[in-house]
A and B are shown apart, each in its own frame.
Chain A
Amino acid sequence: DGGITQSPKYLFRKEGQNVTLSCEQNLNHDAMYWYRQDPGQGLRLIYYSQIVNDFQKGDIAEGYSVSREKKESFPLTVTSAQKNPTAFYLCASSILAGVTETQYFGPGTRLLVL
């Protein structure tokens, strides 16, 4: 089955710790995205990548980092500089970065701070 997988489903972070959220897709999509969802605030774009080895900051990139070394993978690292990381993180992909293209979402990772 083609789709987007995110792991883990739940992730706990200690103070000062960096954690990495995994996002993998087997849809052969060029574009991938990371969103953060907080209650009542909709989705906010963290980073996006239109093609391998290239990515751009979204609206709330501070305290986060990404890499895009392979087409199917777009991991997100939440660094210790992100002071309020508790949220639901969603990864998405689309065939390419185009105005009419549909983004397909993974099941999400919930990050909690210990």
Chain B
Amino acid sequence: GNSVTQMEGPVTLSEEAFLTINCTYTATGYPSLFWYVQYPGEGLQLLLKATKADDKGSNKGFEATYRKETTSFHLEKGSVQVSDSAVYFCALSADRGSTLGRLYFGRGTQLTVWP
């Protein structure tokens, strides 16, 4: 089956620190992988995505590389800001049959950045 496991939070960092949020997945076939971000009281926004192995998604200083050999899609940022404080969700997209396109989400990781 399809599933996503991501690093449990909360994660607390000082401004300008390096961020890694681990994400591993189990999937049949060739899924796409996504990172979404959720600010308090809001819906989810796409942060970045990768649609095939070895692809790197990037946006707003965040990066993640689709590693098929380790079934991972870890999120990284070299220097976090207070405005990055949010909940981050890793997700995969099913690639076949009646479930085509449905997303499977990890539990989310709360990030708090202090000035």
Chain A interface (Cβ < 8 Å from any Cβ of B)? 4, 6, 31, 33, 40-45, 48, 50, 56, 58, 90, 92, 94, 96-108
Decide: A103 near B103, CB < 8 A? Known: A42-B89, A43-B89. Answer: yes
**Mask of B63-82 contacts with A, CB within 8 angstroms, 1/0:** 00000000000000000000
**Contact present for B95 and A99 (CB under 8 Å):** yes
Contact yes or no, B34 A102, CB < 8 A = yes
Count chain B CB atoms within 10 A of each CB in A33, A43, A90 and give the residue with the most: A43
A40:B51 contact, CB within 8 angstroms: no
Select one of A4, A100, A105, A107 contacting B51, CB under 8 A. Answer: A100
Q: Could you jot down 29 A-B contacts, CB within 8 Å?
A: A4-B43, A31-B101, A33-B103, A40-B107, A40-B108, A41-B107, A42-B89, A42-B108, A43-B89, A45-B103, A48-B102, A56-B98, A92-B44, A94-B101, A97-B100, A97-B101, A98-B100, A98-B101, A99-B30, A99-B51, A99-B94, A99-B95, A100-B93, A101-B93, A103-B103, A104-B46, A105-B36, A105-B43, A108-B43
